Amino acid sequence: SQQGEEDPQALSIQEGENATMNCSYKTSINNLQWYRQNSGRGLVHLILIRSNEREKHSGRLRVTLDTSKKSSSLLITASRAADTASYFCATDAATGRRALTFGSGTRLQVQP
């Protein structure tokens, strides 16, 4: 199975609400990254959190990392219709393959 698995697979919220997406992974990591993909486009890097960090903020994004549980969450506060996209976590494994492994993604729909 994939290194990163997102939960939920799909999420629909109203504009102004917060959106939380979760990611679980299996192996030790150097860092974990979140990406966004609009329909028909390439992925865009959002934020990177290192294995020795527990929380990181960037604008309306807040990422947490719990290496003991091998899980991460992405919180988007005060969501906007423009946040509608798919969101992927990606892990940089500490050993073995030296390329990011992407999860299956969460499709976020923000209703105006």
Q: Contacts with another protein: how many residues (CB under 8 A)?
A: 24
Binding another protein (rule: CB under 8 A), the pick from 21, 89, 92, 108 is: 92
Q: Can residue 48 be called a binding residue for another protein (CB under 8 A)?
A: yes
DSSP structure string for 19-74: EEEEEE--S-EEEEEEEEE-TTS-EEEEEEEETT-SEEEETTEEEEEETTTTEEEE
* Cβ neighbour number for residue 76 with a 10 Å cutoff: 23
Task: Provide the residue count of the chain.
Answer: 112
Question: Taking CB under 8 A as the rule, does residue 2 contact another protein?
Answer: yes
Identify any residues that bridge with 44 across adjacent strands, giving them in sequence order: 36
Q: Which is nearer to another protein, 27 or 111 (CB)?
A: 27
Considering beta carbons, is residue 31 or 109 the nearer one to another protein? 31
Residues that bind another protein (CB under 8 A): 2, 30-31, 33, 35, 41-45, 48, 50, 88, 90, 92, 97-105
